Amino acid sequence: MRVRDHEAWFLTDGTDLHIIDQWTNRELFNTEQNKVALLVAFLCVHCARAWPDWPAFRYFEVVTLWFLFAFLIFFLMHMFRLQAKIACINWPLMEFLHYAVGSILVLIASIVGSVKSGGISVLVAGSVFGFIATFLMAVSLWTSYKVSCGSQQTGASV
């Protein structure tokens, strides 16, 4: 049974809707934490007076800012329920891929930033917040996976 076509992109039998609602609330809270961690990491690196390695920290800035904007876009889509109006995209898969790519790229940027920091405390703090954002993205990746793949029910009855 399909919930109204213009309101939802998922099939429901009564239980899936409840799972999606719980997931959305947890995801929005985790998204807020991700946005704060990425913003602090970006600001720490951006406001540093001198960078020991310019390309490494420019990469760090680009990655953190890109995923911060991506989180904002997904947040606005959830707030205005735009995913219901664009039903041709598999949104759980889109968010799963976003978290997977984000986790890997922010982890690489944080490792490079911590290695190239040169003992400058602001750059070390930016790298630490990058690692925190990586952890939060990995948690979001896991919850996204559990909702996308873990909530499927089998047809067998016991």
pLDDT tens profile 42-69: 999 999 988 888 899 999 999 999 998 9
How far lies 5's CA from each of 11, 12, 14, 17, 86, in Å? 10, 12, 16, 14, 10
CB 1 within 8 A of CB 11: yes
Express each pLDDT in 20-42 by its tens digit.
444 455 565 677 888 899 999 99
Report residue 108's pLDDT band, with 50, 70 and 90 as the boundaries: very high
CB 120 within 8 A of CB 45: no
**pTM for this entry:** 0.74
Neighbours of 81 (CB within 10 A): 12
Say how far apart CA 8 and CA 87 lie, in whole Å: 8
CB 140 within 8 A of CB 27: yes
Query: What single string gives the DSSP state of each residue in 46-74?
Result: HT-S--SSHHHHHHHHHHHHHHHHHHHHH
Say how far apart CA 41 and CA 110 lie, in whole Å: 9
